[in-house]
Amino acid sequence: MKLWIQQRIKILSLITVILVGLQLVNSLTGGFLNHFGILPRSAQGLLGILFSPFLHKDWEHLLSNLPILLILSALLLTHSVRYYLSASTFIILFGGLLVWIFARSAIHIGASGWIFGLWMLLLANAFTRRKILDFVYAVLILLYYGGLASGLLPGDPDISTEGHIAGAVAGLCFALLTRKLISDNKINTP
């Protein structure tokens, strides 16, 4: 049990160190790293699919994303590390590709797409996995983070609503695509 907890704490700590470290470099270089965000329908923007979730406009942007990213990650990590890493990779890549294809022409950065993907996945798991823990998570997420749904509506032009929607779609797709694999025990989750 102790190793189980240590492993998950290491993953959450690594995410924190990477995001804070990149923001420190970004701050010291006047936002230079933001050029590695997703620029839709451009060759350069394809690299952004990999890098954009780890880049933030400023410290306020990072600090608004980091706590919820860590909380949702911690909840998903209770299933298994493999499931969390597979889900996060899928959400980042598929959600990023959707942004690259469909989003308005602007540089899209930030962990919000990843956050919305984890959020939707945790909600969808209540229906696709049908385990009591997933229902409990869905209720908690709706109670504490139900307001996230408003982020799926266009509003502030400085916020990538497209990234939020793409992340949510990716999280839902992952839940649906893995439903059969989980029921057949091909993805290792408790």
Q: How far apart are CA 98 and CA 158, in angstroms?
A: 18
pLDDT of 190 reads 47
Cβ burial 112-122 (10 Å sphere, 16+ → b, else e): bbbbbbbbbbb
The whole domain housing 143 covers: 2-183
Q: Report how far Cα 113 is from the mean position of its chain's Cα atoms.
A: 5
User: Does 190 map to a domain?
Assistant: no
Write the pLDDT tens digit of every residue in 70-108.
Answer: 999 999 999 999 999 999 999 999 999 999 999 999 999
User: Does 31 map to a domain?
Assistant: yes
User: Does 188 map to a domain?
Assistant: no
User: Does 92 map to a domain?
Assistant: yes
Does 188 have pLDDT greater than 70? no
The CA–CA distances, whole Å, from 20 to 47, 56, 62 equal 20, 10, 8
When pLDDT is averaged across residues 37-64 and rounded to a whole number, the result is: 96
Q: How far apart are CA 110 and CA 104, in angstroms?
A: 16
pTM of the model: 0.90
User: Does 136 map to a domain?
Assistant: yes
Residue 96's CATH number: 1.20.1540.10
User: Does 26 map to a domain?
Assistant: yes
User: Does 71 map to a domain?
Assistant: yes
In sequence order, the β-bridge partners of residue 108 are 38
* Domains contained in the chain, number: 1
User: Does 189 map to a domain?
Assistant: no
Does 45 have pLDDT greater than 60? yes
